[in-house]
Amino acid sequence: MTKKKPLIDPKSLKFLTAVSSAEYSKPTLKMGALIASVFDASLGVVYVGERASEFHGSAVNLTRTNLDNWNIIHPGLEVLEWALDELKKLSPENKELAKIQFNPDHVYEEDGRVRVILPEEKGCRIELVLREGELVDQMRKEIQLESYDLAIIGGSQNKRHLAHSLIQYLPSSIFVLQKLNPRKKYKLLLLVDDSAATRKSVEWGALIAEKLGWPVRTLTVSKTIRFGAGYQGAADKAKAYFDSRGIEVEQFFLTGDPVRTFVEFAGDNHFVIMGASTLNPIKQLLFGSKPIKTLEQSDAPILIVR
Amino acid sequence: MTIYIDVLFWMRQKRWFLIAIAYGLVMHFGVTPPVDLNPAAFDALIIISMALILIITEPLPLPAIAMFMLFMQVVLGIDTANNVASSFMNDAVFFIMGSLMLAVAIVSQGLDKRLALAIIYLTGHKTWRIIAGFTAISAILASFIGEHTVAAMMMPVGLTLVRYAHKDPKKVAGLTAALLFSIAYGATVGSIGTPSGGGRNVIMMNYWAEFGAGSVTYLEWIKYVYPMVLIQIPFTVLILLWTFKPEQNNLDSAVRKLVIDVAHAGKIKGREWLAIFLFILVFLGWVFLSEDFGLGIIALLGVFLYLAFGLVEWQELNRKTNWGVILLFGAAISIGIQMNDTGAAQWIAQVIIHNLSKVIDNPAVLQGSVSVLLTGIMSNILSSSATVAVVGPIVLDLGGDKILIGYATAIASAFGYFTAVAAPACTIIYSSGLVKSKDFLRAGWKMGFLSLVSLLGLSLLWWPLL
């Protein structure tokens, strides 16, 4: 594994987070900014607003043009302005970021979105984007357009079905923030099996362990008492990779129902990393997948690697 | 794997399109038409019901839905390509095209600042008077130039007052809602007043002519319908004040700041006078020449004059006009005509009458209540103009006086108070993010009830006198 070209380039990571309003999005934005700063990643902040019915779309656009003449900006741009201010408050030491002023006139309409043009200051890698439409569709388009590595989403109970759709359809890895406490020292729990996503999960695990100094545990769960060669091989390769990076790792092999075992083992003091499901998407839709079931049952923050 | 996810995602996004197709296939190949309905009429009903699913759920762009309605008429053998083409373009579509372009031309003149000063001059600083002024001006202007034009011009004035009243509009939520709804409901109430108030009025006039019900002049429409506008203005003001209870009784400081803002625009310029003069010409054309020339042709003439005098650039008109809506109305009217010609509309009307006559034995009451309730409900789900395009042929076949039923239908199509999707003015205020869906329900049921009562009063007390 160590000889292969890495799947993640830690020097050019791009993270994306979505905001809806100052009222509801502060925790997600705060965590997004924190995570991006830890990984020295660029952060895209996308506001996805409701799109007017196509019947009246041109009337709404005509009104917005007229409102521009009165210096009344799009409500989505107001949220993005708030997001930029919040990011400045979160990184008071970032002098380059502090210098950047939000100008609602400096926007560029392209590829079905509106991008706020920010001056390119060294040390400030922020994209502010306004989109209108359905959240999953718009985030998917944004990720495809900008090749984001990771989407950061909240995980509130009342938006579980939305989280499911995001996990199912977003083409990037997804970090579900549920109950993440930034002051808490978590243990990394990496779920290892013989699926294709395990290699990338291991790379993410190593990167997080290096950045945050969290202890690493790998967990391999078999439904029977016999662990196949694929599972054993994957666990060995994972350990070898961590060893090569000088990261200590504890290995666990348990038997039982995979999801129940993950959830019980993780409790609320682990940060879970697992690969996205390799099940046929139709089966995932009908019967659910391990990531979705784990998300449903667990209180731990989860990184689902795609 | 990725391709599977892409396909599944496409299916998720287009599920209503797939449902509509499945429904159409089952209906066409699996269901035998009723004995008293000919196959062409049955197919016209299948097309229109599929189109309704697509219009409400919007899985496809509107122009695609329009094209679907057109080619399906030919594919299913309802009519020839040339006949479908000729039913697609008519004066009502010209009017919708012209009025959408006129809206762009008028809004781009910057007359909203003059309008703001005029309203403040008339109303003073008291909140209730400003709300009354907003409602009345929006209603009166919308009755001539269309609700979307008025809402686009009034919104900046309303939002500026809100922002000057308090830095955080959420702290003055009642005032914000009352001001914004006075624009939306005012414009909606006014849009029925004259034929040029909304595309749906002209669609109804087109159906009258197509279905042999006779023609109605611009002034005759006003005579029958404008009293409804005048009755509803004070009702609307009272409902808004009662429902939203503005936090401030006096907007002294906000008004002063607004006046200072708009005073920067200086004296009214020659270009603005010309824009007003040209619109007056268009209006006079509608009043005195529409019987000979048609409302749509006069609207297009107005656009031509705005372009010829350099008051608006073609590029701007082209960019800001919703061509998709124009195509959709052309297609909807075309299928509406097929519904009439094939007997589909008459068949639905008979089914409704046959079933409801057991409950309501007075034919006039039955015809009136079906047309008003069906239109009122559908306009809250669809848009008001699309409702008239679809429901028009059916209600005109219910029996009774086609002209009066048509007036009642056109009026009821403005009862889309309950949702943000029905009327463009409602969508516009909703897009500000400062009013919520539940606000439409809070005020909407009161507006709906009083509008029904007003329409009943108009039809019983005023129309018999004419």
> Residues A194-239: pLDDT tens digits?
888 888 899 999 998 888 888 999 999 888 888 777 888 888 899 9
| pLDDT value, residue A140 | 94
The distance of A216 to chain B (nearest Cα, Å) reads: 30
Cα distances (Å, whole numbers) of residue A144 to A147, A167, B186, B377:
5, 15, 44, 40
Q: CA nearest B197: which of B331, B102, B288?
A: B102
Q: Would you say B363 and B372 are in contact if contact means Cβ atoms under 8 Å apart?
A: no
> Residues A98-120: pLDDT tens digits?
888 888 888 888 878 988 888 76
| Buried-state track B43-58, b at ≥16 Cβ within 10 A, e below 16 | bbbbbbebbbbbbbeb
Query: Which residues, 6 or more positions from B255, have their beta carbon under 8 angstroms from its beta carbon?
Result: B120, B125, B130, B161, B164
Kindly report the three-state secondary structure assignment for every residue of chain B: CHHHHHHHHHHHHCHHHHHHHHHHHHHHHHCCCCCCCCHHHHHHHHHHHHHHHHHHHCCCCHHHHHHHHHHHHHHCCCCCHHHHHHHHCCHHHHHHHHHHHHHHHHHCCCCHHHHHHHHHHHHCCEHHHHHHHHHHHHHHHHHHHCHHHHHHHHHHHHHHHHHHHCCCHHHHHHHHHHHHHHHHHHHHHHCCCCHHHCHHHHHHHHHHHHCCCCCCCHHHHHHHHHHHHHHHHHHHHHHHHHHHCCCCCECHHHHHHHHHHHHCCCCCCHHHHHHHHHHHHHHHHHHHHHHHHCHHHHHHHHHHHHHHCCCCCHHHHHHHCCHHHHHHHHHHHHHHHHHHHHCHHHHHHHHHHHHHCCCCCCHHHHHHHHHHHHHHHHHHHCCHHHHHHHHHHHHCCCCCCHHHHHHHHHHHCCCCCCCCCCCHHHHHHHCCCCCCHHHHHHHHHHHHHHHHHHHHHHHHHHHHHC
Q: How confident is the model at residue A123 (pLDDT cuts 50, 70, 90)?
A: low
| pLDDT value, residue A281 | 67
Q: Would you say B155 and A62 are in contact if contact means Cβ atoms under 8 Å apart?
A: no
Q: What is the residue whose two structure tokens read 């009166």?
A: B140
Q: How many CB atoms lie within 10 A of CB B441?
A: 12
Q: Would you say B161 and B261 are in contact if contact means Cβ atoms under 8 Å apart?
A: no
Measured between alpha carbons, how far is A127 from B189 in angstroms, rounded to an integer?
A: 43
Measured between alpha carbons, how far is A56 from B425 in angstroms, rounded to an integer?
A: 9
Q: Would the CB atoms of A58 and B320 count as touching at under 8 Å?
A: yes
Q: Would the CB atoms of B5 and A278 count as touching at under 8 Å?
A: no
| pLDDT value, residue B1 | 62
Cα distances (Å, whole numbers) of residue B355 to B317, B360, B361, B393:
48, 9, 11, 19
3-state secondary structure of A125: coil
Q: How many residues does chain A have?
A: 306
Chain A CB contacts of B100 below 8 Å: 58
Q: Which tokens is A286 given?
A: 């009908």
Query: Which residues, 6 or more positions from A211, have their beta carbon under 8 angstroms from its beta carbon?
Result: A38, A39
Show which of residues 199-238 on chain A sit within 8 Å of chain B, judged by CB atoms: none
Least confident of A3-12, A209-218, A255-264, B100-109: A3-12
Least confident of A136-145, A297-306, B276-285: A297-306
Residue A159, pLDDT > 70, answer no
Which of the pair, A281 or B47, is modelled with greater confidence?
B47
Q: How confident is the model at residue A156 (pLDDT cuts 50, 70, 90)?
A: low
A64 and chain B: CB distance < 8 Å anywhere? Answer: yes
User: Please, what sign has the CA dihedral across residues B265, B267, B268, B270?
Assistant: negative
Structural domain spans, chain B: 2-79, 111-264+343-465
Q: CA nearest B230: which of B144, B150, B139, B134?
A: B139
Q: What is the residue whose two structure tokens read 């924190």?
A: A34
Chain A CB contacts of B423 below 8 Å: 56
Cα of A123 vs its chain's centroid, Å: 21
Q: Would you say A121 and A133 are in contact if contact means Cβ atoms under 8 Å apart?
A: no
Q: How many CB atoms lie within 10 A of CB B167?
A: 8
Measured between alpha carbons, how far is B130 from B121 in angstroms, rounded to an integer?
A: 10
Residue A54, pLDDT > 60, answer yes
The distance of B3 to chain A (nearest Cα, Å) reads: 10
Q: Which tokens is B428 given?
A: 């516009």
Which of A54, A59, A70 minimises the CB distance to B428?
A: A59
The distance of A140 to chain B (nearest Cα, Å) reads: 10
**Mean pLDDT throughout B2-8?**
84
**Mean pLDDT throughout B387-398?**
89
Pairing of strands A113-116, A187-191: unpaired
Q: Would you say A50 and A130 are in contact if contact means Cβ atoms under 8 Å apart?
A: no
Q: Would the CB atoms of A58 and B322 count as touching at under 8 Å?
A: yes
Q: How confident is the model at residue B462 (pLDDT cuts 50, 70, 90)?
A: very high
Q: Which tokens is B17 given?
A: 């399109």
**Mean pLDDT throughout B442-449?**
93
Q: What are phi and psi of B47, to 5 degrees?
A: -60, -45
Q: Which of B4, B5, B180, B257 to mutate to test the interface with A (most CBs of A within 10 A)?
A: B5
Domains and CATH numbers, chain A: 14-176 (3.40.50.620), 187-305 (3.40.50.12370)
- Amino acid identity of residue A1, one-letter, is M
Q: What are phi and psi of B350, to 5 degrees?
A: -65, -40
Taking only Cα atoms into account, the Rg of chain A, rounded to an integer number of angstroms, comes to 21
**Mean pLDDT over all residues of chain B?**
90
The distance of B37 to chain A (nearest Cα, Å) reads: 32
Measured between alpha carbons, how far is A6 from A204 in angstroms, rounded to an integer?
A: 10
Q: Which tokens is B121 given?
A: 């001059």
DSSP A186: P
Least confident of A14-23, B273-282, B442-451: A14-23
Q: Between helices B252-263 and B147-165, what is the axis angle to 10°? A: 120
Residue A182, pLDDT > 80, answer no
Measured between alpha carbons, how far is A65 from B104 in angstroms, rounded to an integer?
A: 10
Strand-by-strand arrangement of the A150-153 sheet: A107-110, A113-116, A126-132, A42-49, A14-19, A150-153, A173-176, A302-305, A270-275, A187-191, A216-222, A249-255
**Mean pLDDT throughout B276-281?**
93
Q: What is the residue whose two structure tokens read 């955080």?
A: B168
Taking only Cα atoms into account, the Rg of chain B, rounded to an integer number of angstroms, comes to 23
Residue of B nearest to A172 (CA): B2
Burial class (CB in 10 A: 0-12, 13-18, 19+), A92: exposed
Query: Which residues, 6 or more positions from A257, have their beta carbon under 8 angstroms from its beta carbon?
Result: A223
Residue B183, pLDDT > 50, answer yes
The distance of B137 to chain A (nearest Cα, Å) reads: 18
**Mean pLDDT throughout A183-199?**
86
Residue B192, pLDDT > 90, answer yes
Q: Would you say A91 and A37 are in contact if contact means Cβ atoms under 8 Å apart?
A: yes
B83 and chain A: CB distance < 8 Å anywhere? Answer: no
**Mean pLDDT throughout A176-181?**
80
| pLDDT value, residue A300 | 87
Measured between alpha carbons, how far is B66 from B341 in angstroms, rounded to an integer?
A: 19
**Mean pLDDT throughout A241-260?**
90
Chain B CB contacts of A66 below 8 Å: 107, 112, 152-153, 155-156
The distance between the two most distant Cα atoms of chain A, rounded to a whole number of Å, is: 71
- Which helix or strand (DSSP H or E) is residue A219 part of? strand A216-222
3-state secondary structure of A187: strand
Cα distances (Å, whole numbers) of residue A181 to A88, A241, A268:
21, 28, 10
3-state secondary structure of A131: strand
Residue B328, pLDDT > 60, answer yes
Q: Would the CB atoms of B159 and A56 count as touching at under 8 Å?
A: no
Q: Which of B431, B434, B435, B437 to mutate to test the interface with A (most CBs of A within 10 A)?
A: B431
Q: Would you say A207 and A10 are in contact if contact means Cβ atoms under 8 Å apart?
A: yes
Measured between alpha carbons, how far is A12 from A197 in angstroms, rounded to an integer?
A: 20
- The DSSP-derived string for A250-276 is EEEEEES-HHHHHHHHHTTTEEEEEEP
Q: What are phi and psi of A16, to 5 degrees?
A: -130, 135
Residue A2, pLDDT > 70, answer no
Measured between alpha carbons, how far is B455 from A259 in angstroms, rounded to an integer?
A: 62
Q: How confident is the model at residue A1 (pLDDT cuts 50, 70, 90)?
A: very low
| pLDDT value, residue A213 | 86
Q: What are phi and psi of B312, to 5 degrees?
A: -150, 145
Q: How many CB atoms lie within 10 A of CB B370?
A: 21
Q: Between helices A198-212 and A229-244, what is the axis angle to 10°? A: 30
Measured between alpha carbons, how far is B186 from B26 in angstroms, rounded to an integer?
A: 44
Q: What is the residue whose two structure tokens read 């001539």?
A: B144
| pLDDT value, residue B317 | 92
Q: Which tokens is B54 given?
A: 């697509």
